Amino acid sequence: MKKMPVILDCDPGIDDALAMLIMYQNKEIFDLKLISASAGNTPIDITTKNIQFFAEKFFNGVKVAKGIGKPLKVVHPETAEDVHGVGGLGNYQIPEQNYPYEEDSVEVMYKTICDSKEKMNLIVIGPQTNIAKLIQTHPDVVSKIERIYAMIGSINGIGNVRPYAEFNAFFDPDAFKIVSMSGIPMTINPMELGHNSRLKKSIFASANAKNDIQIMIQSIIDGLYEWRDPSLVSIFDLHTVYSIVKPELYDFVPCDVNVTLDGKKDGECFLKENPDAKNYYISLKNPAEANGEILEDLFSME
């Protein structure tokens, strides 16, 4: 089967880590050209270090680039160490990293996209700062990108970090606005999907972990703290990748992407159904069935 050329931009982050593990388990699908770090769940130095760790352990040889350390315009105080832990990977501690990385993710991304014979796909599961800067700096890149698969925003203008805004959208609303207006088709994994498919944390703790990777998954999840209900965990980002690996588990709804940028509800997002739109939002056909498959996949990883 022909591999999908892809760049991953992420802010690991526990659910980013799970998304990377699903990519690792399905390497036959992805031609992963580059992993770039965005700031978000934790500061850029931590997300970059976590990406170095995953690159060395699971994607050895892939290019790594450090992204922009703060939002394009307005810096909000919120990062998400309270949810993901200070190191960004829950209770899992990684050693100092030496895996090579390049400093300027925008230029590395642009060169990677220009050097590709095929149009590039972007999997973007953190704030969209790097992508927006890429579009601003190199507008010609829009015609070289096939599709953006993003975890961001919500269908009905709801949020987690604010009542009206999901974290990735709120962290850099100007970036999300730029990307949503760029004309690059997006497949959006909205906040509602992760919230409506939360899993019991205890299921991970009681799983029969048979190797280091599965023990790492348990330790990562064990350190995830969701203040709404600490007994449950959302694995938002994983579904962005899983909907590519197992599309049969999802509905794909054509939609327009509307991002609020009014100084009052920056980052608010409405995904309005439009049969003629090139964007989609995804929803799970059967959350319980999907969660069963996800747990089976995570605890069969080797």
Residues that bind ligand RIB (CB under 6 A): 11, 13, 15-16, 40-41, 80, 125-126, 151, 160, 166-168, 191, 236-237
> Minimal distance in Å, beta carbon 169 to ligand RIB?
8
In 3D, which of 245, 256, 247, 257 has the Cα closest to residue 282?
A: 247
Site of interaction with Ca ion (CB under 5 A): 11, 13, 16, 125-126, 237
C-beta closer to ligand RIB: residue 5 or 127: 127
Q: List the structure tokens of 204.
A: 């991970």
Query: Which of helix, strand or coil describes residue 29?
Result: coil
| Whole-angstrom distance, CA of residue 263 vs CA of residue 257 | 18
C-beta closer to Ca ion: residue 41 or 180: 41
> Minimal distance in Å, beta carbon 79 to Ca ion?
11
The entry of ligand RIB, Ca ion, none near residue 53 (CB within 5 to 8 angstroms by kind) is none
Q: Residue 88: how many CB atoms within 10 A of its CB?
A: 28
Q: In whole angstroms, how far apart are CA 140 and each of 15, 135, 165, 302?
A: 32, 8, 30, 41
> Minimal distance in Å, beta carbon 115 to Ca ion?
27
C-beta closer to ligand RIB: residue 111 or 162: 162
Q: List the structure tokens of 172.
A: 């850099």
Residue nearest to ligand RIB (CB): 167
C-beta closer to Ca ion: residue 84 or 147: 84
C-beta closer to ligand RIB: residue 10 or 134: 10
**Is there a contact between 233 and 27 (Cβ–Cβ < 8 Å)?**
no
> Minimal distance in Å, beta carbon 114 to Ca ion?
26
> Minimal distance in Å, beta carbon 168 to ligand RIB?
5
| Whole-angstrom distance, CA of residue 65 vs CA of residue 91 | 25
C-beta closer to Ca ion: residue 69 or 254: 69
The entry of Ca ion, ligand RIB, none near residue 173 (CB within 5 to 8 angstroms by kind) is none
Query: Which of helix, strand or coil describes residue 264?
Result: coil
Q: Residue 58: how many CB atoms within 10 A of its CB?
A: 17
In 3D, which of 236, 254, 155, 139 has the Cα closest to residue 197?
A: 236
The entry of Ca ion, ligand RIB, none near residue 166 (CB within 5 to 8 angstroms by kind) is ligand RIB
